[in-house]
Amino acid sequence: MCRKNEREGNMQKVLVVVDMQNDFIDGALGTKEAVAIVPGVKEKIENFDGVVLFTRDTHETYYLDTQEGKNLPVPHCIKGTDGWELDSSLKEFQGKRFEKNTFGSTALMEYVQERPYESVMLIGVCTDICVISNALLVKAAIPEVPVLVDSSCCAGVTPESHENALNAMKMCHIAVQ
């Protein structure tokens, strides 16, 4: 069954910018690969014809007491800190922000379910944790909508885990470019 907007051809493309925060770029969990993708991410946002959404990893000061904190004992993206902020070159961009306290955002998943989109593209960090988690949630929420990942605008914890995540997403019918 088609929604009214779908019949009228008003569907939009969506770009989801995943966790492009200081702590994942050059902070507590930063990598040279994450630093390297920032210009491409900025260019992708600037040239994107559609809706831009952002996710932000968001933890509280008691992070080390959480399940994740016990498995990854590196405080990061503590709400209100510089590490939690988006990279300075990306802060100016408008777009709904989804704060998430875990790898994937169920609020993002619900948001894309409520609107008729032509496609959803994901970019950002970390390919092997938060990008893959959000891509799979989006694909599960809207299985008939193409979900894409621009690998040139993603960075993983390591180059190997980045490639492994891209291959896993391909197996789940997520188009990797």
What pLDDT is attached to residue 68?
94
User: What does the DSSP assignment read for 57-106?
Assistant: E-B-TTGGGSHHHHHS-----BTTSGGGSBPTTTTT---EEEEESSSS-H
**Res 10: pLDDT:** 72
What pLDDT does residue 164 have?
98
Question: How many whole angstroms separate alpha carbon 66 and alpha carbon 56?
Answer: 18
pLDDT under 70: residue ranges of the chain: 1-9
Model confidence, pTM: 0.93
Q: Which two tokens stand for residue 10?
A: 């008003």
> What pLDDT shows up at residue 11?
87
Which pLDDT belongs to residue 92? 94
Angle at CA of residue 138, ends 132 and 144, nearest 5°: 125
Instruction: Provide the token pair at 168.
Output: 């896993």
